[in-house]
């Protein structure tokens, strides 16, 4: 998603007289996309909602530091990505950064996560979608983020590199490893 007149929106964001209205437009335009970027990394709607709110608070308080070197969407994704990783690292019972798809810890069981997703009123996917979300949820957090940005948000590797601060080569390797783990997950749950 891009705003046709992003440069005008950025000018409005930097003008104190139009800042608040322009930021409301940013929230309206990017809120749902950012929510789903976050939600695909955390299990619960309330957590994703809190992280999204923190993302917009951080964006609002750092508007003056946004120079427009990258797209507005990329800047917001970067903030959301960092906020999500920070949240995950602070949660003792959440899937940790080093959780793998082969985890034997019952708290990280992908099928338990599928049950959590299916019982969530904000999840409306079918059985295959639930299995895919379970496989993705079992990936390490950084790999999960790369997979989500590439597969679901269809971002280019260059954009993901800007968001994550990771080389394009490492991102490609991470994405292909994630795809392999997801394929293996599906084969084990046929």
CA–CA dist 96, 184 (Å, integer): 21
Residue 146: CA count within 13 A, CB half-sphere: 24
Assign 104 a pLDDT band (cuts: 50, 70, 90). very low
**Tens-place pLDDT, residues 147-187:** 988 998 888 999 999 988 999 999 999 999 999 999 999 88
Q: What is the pTM of this model?
A: 0.70
């Amino acid at each position: 998603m891009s705003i046709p007149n992003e440069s005008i929106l950025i000018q409005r964001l930097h003008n104190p007289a139009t800042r608040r209205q322009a930021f409301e437009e940013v929230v309206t335009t990017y809120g749902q996309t950012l929510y789903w970027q976050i939600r695909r990394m955390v299990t619960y709607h309330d957590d994703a909602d809190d992280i999204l709110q923190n993302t917009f608070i951080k964006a609002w308080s750092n508007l003056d530091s946004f120079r427009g070197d990258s797209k507005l969407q990329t800047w917001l994704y970067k903030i959301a990505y960092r906020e999500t990783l920070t949240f995950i690292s602070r949660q003792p019972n959440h899937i940790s950064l080093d959780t793998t798809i082969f985890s034997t810890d019952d708290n990280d069981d992908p099928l338990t996560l599928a049950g959590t997703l299916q019982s969530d009123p904000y999840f409306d996917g079918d059985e295959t979608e639930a299995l895919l979300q379970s496989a993705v949820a079992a990936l390490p957090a950084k790999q999960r983020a790369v997979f989500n940005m590439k597969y679901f948000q269809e971002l280019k590797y260059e954009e993901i590199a800007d968001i994550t601060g990771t080389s394009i080569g490492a991102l490609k390797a991470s994405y292909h490893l994630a795809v392999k783990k997801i394929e293996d997950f599906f084969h084990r749950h046929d």
